[in-house]
């Protein structure tokens, strides 16, 4: 028997009857850092240090904590997370890739999106002192 829908209308998706399957998601985002910000990012000369390395760590944390950020997101035991920050010199940009995967009853795209977002926010935060017009 299914539980009744709460009065608020909000509820997590019921995945109990779904079979676990291999799930994988990749999210991609980009920060256009401008010429000064890009040079500082790529040269690892920002005031707070190596923002690319810090963004990759923040992306891992973001993916692992997606369910804490989004109330209806299922908490998942991720089996793999990879976050990469790739300089794109011709655009003065940093492209962020976040890949997540696991075997589960529900998808893993929110974790990939949360990871990419956390990495991009970290890049923004650490770059704005040298490129205030970000």
Angle at 45 between CA 95 and CA 48, to 5 degrees: 90
**Angstrom distance (rounded) from CA 73 to CA 122:** 22
List the beta bridge partners of residue 23: 102
Q: Which is catalytic among the residues 2, 50, 82, 125?
A: 125
Q: Are 134 and 37 in contact (CB under 8 A)?
A: yes
Residue 110 has, within 13 A of its CA and on its CB side, a CA count of: 14
Active site residue 14: no
> Which residues are tagged catalytic?
125
């Amino acid at each position: 028997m299914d539980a009744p829908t709460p009065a608020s209308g909000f509820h997590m998706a019921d995945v109990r009857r779904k079979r676990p399957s291999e799930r994988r998601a990749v999210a991609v985002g980009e920060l256009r850092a401008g010429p000064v910000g890009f040079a500082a990012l790529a040269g690892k000369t920002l005031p707070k240090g190596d923002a690319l390395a810090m963004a990759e760590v923040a992306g891992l944390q973001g993916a692992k904590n997606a369910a804490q950020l989004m109330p209806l997101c299922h908490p998942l035991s991720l089996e793999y997370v990879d976050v990469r920050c790739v300089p794109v010199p011709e655009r003065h940009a940093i492209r962020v890739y976040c890949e997540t995967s696991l075997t589960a009853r529900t998808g893993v795209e929110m974790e990939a999106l949360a990871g990419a977002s956390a990495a991009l926010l970290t890049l923004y935060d650490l770059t704005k002192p040298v490129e205030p017009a970000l």
